[in-house]
């Protein structure tokens, strides 16, 4: 035993310093979350209060087709968003990873910068573009493609566009890390062996970048499925998503038990995706490193 | 690369256009003199000038800044201490803490909002600036901890050990070795926390009472009551504000090699 313990890791300070912060997270995060879970098994009183009697009825209520439709719709929007992000994000990540090394940080910064700006404002920007007399409609009419303005805003398509716009950076980063690690010689070898373009893509590039693809898809899917602002601003009454349903149950209907049950269904979906993410990341020593 | 295709470059260019086009249009139209239509009627600064005279907006700005400053200070202290303290804990406990800290980052923000609202309402706490600040500290702690922890893990432990060998107390090691090395990451974390707090809509939406309107809440209610040129101007200002904060943060992060 040395006379005094040397710092084995970098921090030389005692472990109890972490206590206040962890206490804060417990009180203001874990406890509220537990409260939501508990309330999801209670029921709503006549005047909106909470009746503390254990019942699974809130979860059973969610089987109603109306809720089922919203849940299914959210899954669908999030899936389409993920697919579109991949189609746009893969070429972008590939080009960045294969551009001169000194340009790469700047290009990645350009991809990430919009993400760090106000989400509400970025979503609002699409309202200007998609409006009835918005820029896209004016443009199409000026070109003579359409005679009357198209209904673009308040449609499912608008929601998906907004989601792709919001979460594209999440796709590009893990893909960039994966492509950057892909040995260009392997691609060259495939070309030399007379592989077709399609064969190079499907037999070399995609399999070798699979960890990044899985990571990117999950990172896009998670915030998409739980989004609120995008469907709220760009979607109509018919393109509601789970987040809007939660807000609606809490603030409009004031049925907190039902809102809590919806929250936990959403949380279950998200946590499944998170577990899948960590599994794929741990199997291949992680696209997280690139973040 | 020999076979890099033009198609890839075209799609990348389109993706970049997609990322920046809407922002560009928004900023451009904040200078448009036309009131309602999207037709260009010449450049003007009058919408920006109108913002300066909007009392409610100035109050919202004051609220936003107050919330961002207080919650950044709180989260930097609490989150920084977690990063410094957890380094010495056994591996399993570190994993547990990491899991707890990742959770707020992955669960849907709307869920964090309703959970906090429920909690405050059940405690009979009136919703207002205080509850918003308490909530903002919650989502900023993990950001600060993770950023500082990433930096801490990259430091060479030999530096601290050398200082300890030369008789420095653990406080002195922290004060004269760890802290100076952490400084860029610390400033980066502060700027990121500040930006995230300033931009937050959802947690604020659920935890703010009627008296605690912030800039994003104000933007939201303006959007909901109809699209006006003032929103464009305000949005453009918010974009510039968060972009400069993050640009600065990234610059600081980059320098720390």
Percent of chain A with pLDDT over 70: 92
Question: Does A29 sit within 8 Å of B81, measured CB to CB?
Answer: no
Distance from CA of A88 to the nearest CA of B (A): 6
Residue B16: Cβ within 10 Å count = 16
| Ordered DSSP codes for chain A | --SSPPPSSS--S-GGGGHHHHHHHIIIIIHHHHHHHHHTTSEE-TTS-EE-----HHHHHTTSHHHHHHHHHHHHHHHHHHHHHHHHHHHHHHHHHTS-TTTHHHHHHHHHGGGGS-HHHHHHHHHHHHSTTSHHHHHHHHHTS-SS----TTSHHHHHHHHHHHHHHHHHHHHHHHHHHS-HHHHHHHHHTT--HHHIIIIIIHHHTHHHHHHHHHHHHHHHHT--HHHHHHS-GGG--HHHHHHIIIIIS--HHHHHHHHHHHHHHHHHHHHHHHHHHHHTT-GGGG-
**How high is the pLDDT of residue B256?**
52
Which three-class secondary structure string do you get for B130-147?
A: HHHHHHHHHHHHHHHHHH
**How high is the pLDDT of residue A115?**
85
Tens of pLDDT, residues A149-166: 888 889 999 999 999 999
- Nearest Cα residue to A184 out of B12, B1, B6, B7: B1
Which residues in chain A touch residue B1, judged by CB atoms under 8 angstroms apart? 98, 184, 187
**Residue in B9, B102, B164 nearest the CB of A7:** B164
Which residues in chain A touch residue B106, judged by CB atoms under 8 angstroms apart? 222, 270-271, 274
Q: pTM for the full model?
A: 0.89
Residue of B7, B99, B114, B156 to mutate, testing the A interface (most A Cβ within 10 Å of its Cβ): B114
Tens of pLDDT, residues B22-75: 999 888 888 888 876 667 778 888 888 888 888 888 999 999 999 999 999 999
Question: Does A91 sit within 8 Å of B87, measured CB to CB?
Answer: no
User: Chain B residue with minimal CA distance to A128?
Assistant: B26
A288 inside 8 A of chain B by CB: no
Tens of pLDDT, residues B195-221: 999 999 999 999 998 778 999 999 999
As a whole number of angstroms, the distance between CA A217 and CA A31 comes to: 31
**How high is the pLDDT of residue A84?**
96
- The domain defined by A59-290 carries CATH number 1.10.3720.10: yes
Domain positions in chain A are 59-290
pLDDT of B4 strictly over 80 = no
Domain positions in chain B are 45-255
Question: Does A12 sit within 8 Å of B232, measured CB to CB?
Answer: no
Residue of B88, B178, B204 to mutate, testing the A interface (most A Cβ within 10 Å of its Cβ): B88
Which residues in chain B touch residue A4, judged by CB atoms under 8 angstroms apart? 164
Contact partners, residue B162, CB within 8 Å, separation at least 6:
none
Average pLDDT value over all residues in chain A? 87
> What is the assigned CATH class of domain B45-255?
mainly alpha
pLDDT of A289 strictly over 80 = no
> Is the ipTM of this structure higher than 0.85?
yes
What is the rounded average pLDDT of the residues A110-124? 89
What tokens does A140 get? Answer: 């199409």
């Amino acid at each position: 035993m040395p006379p005094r313990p040397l710092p084995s890791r970098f921090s030389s300070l005692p472990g109890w310093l972490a206590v206040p912060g962890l206490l804060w997270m417990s009180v203001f995060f874990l406890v509220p979350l537990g409260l939501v879970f508990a309330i999801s098994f209670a029921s709503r009183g006549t005047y909106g209060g909470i009746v503390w009697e254990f019942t699974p009825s809130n979860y059973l209520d969610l089987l109603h087709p109306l809720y089922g439709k919203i849940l299914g719709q959210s899954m669908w929007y999030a899936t389409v968003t993920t697919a579109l992000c991949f189609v746009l994000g893969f070429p972008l990540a590939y080009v960045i990873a294969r551009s001169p090394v000194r340009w790469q940080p700047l290009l990645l910064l350009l991809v990430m910068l919009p993400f760090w700006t106000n989400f509400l404002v970025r979503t609002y920007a699409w309202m200007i573009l998609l409006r009835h007399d918005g820029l896209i409609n004016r443009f199409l009419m000026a070109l003579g493609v359409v005679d009357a303005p198209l209904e673009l805003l308040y449609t499912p398509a608008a929601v998906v566009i907004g989601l792709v716009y919001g979460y594209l950076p999440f796709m590009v980063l893990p893909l960039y890390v994966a492509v950057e690690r892909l040995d260009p010689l392997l691609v060259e070898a495939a070309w030399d062996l007379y592989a077709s373009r399609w064969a190079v893509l499907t037999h070399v590039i995609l399999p070798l970048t699979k960890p990044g693809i899985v990571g990117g898809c999950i990172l896009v899917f998670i915030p998409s499925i739980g989004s609120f602002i995008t469907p709220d601003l760009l979607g109509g009454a018919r393109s509601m998503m789970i987040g809007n349903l939660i807000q609606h149950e809490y603030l409009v209907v004031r049925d907190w038990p039902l809102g809590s049950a919806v929250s936990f269904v959403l949380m279950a979906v998200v946590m499944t995706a998170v577990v899948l993410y960590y599994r794929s990341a741990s199997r291949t020593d992680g696209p997280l490193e690139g973040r | 690369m020999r076979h890099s295709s033009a198609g890839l470059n075209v799609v990348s260019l389109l993706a970049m256009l997609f990322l920046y086009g809407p922002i560009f249009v928004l900023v451009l139209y904040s200078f448009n003199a036309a009131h309602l239509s999207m037709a260009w009627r010449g450049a003007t600064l009058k919408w920006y000038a109108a913002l300066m005279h909007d009392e409610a907006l100035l109050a919202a700005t004051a609220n936003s800044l107050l919330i961002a400053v207080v919650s950044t200070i709180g989260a930097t202290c609490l989150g920084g201490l977690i990063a410094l303290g957890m380094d010495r804990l056994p591996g399993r406990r570190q994993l547990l803490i990491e899991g707890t800290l990742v959770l707020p980052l992955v669960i849907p923000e709307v869920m964090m909002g309703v959970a906090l609202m429920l909690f405050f309402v059940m405690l009979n706490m009136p919703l207002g600036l205080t509850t918003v600040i308490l909530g903002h500290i919650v989502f900023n702690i993990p950001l600060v901890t993770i950023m500082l922890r990433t930096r801490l893990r990259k430091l060479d432990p030999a530096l601290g050990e050398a200082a300890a060998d030369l008789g420095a107390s653990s406080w002195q090691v922290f004060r004269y070795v760890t802290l100076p090395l952490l400084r860029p990451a610390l400033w980066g974390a502060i700027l990121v926390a500040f930006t995230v707090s300033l931009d937050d809509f959802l947690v604020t939406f659920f935890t703010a009472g009627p008296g605690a309107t912030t800039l994003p809440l104000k933007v939201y209610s303006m959007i909901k009551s109809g699209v006006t040129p003032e929103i464009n101007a305000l949005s453009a200002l918010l974009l510039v504000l968060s972009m400069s904060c993050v640009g600065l943060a990234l610059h600081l992060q980059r320098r720390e090699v």
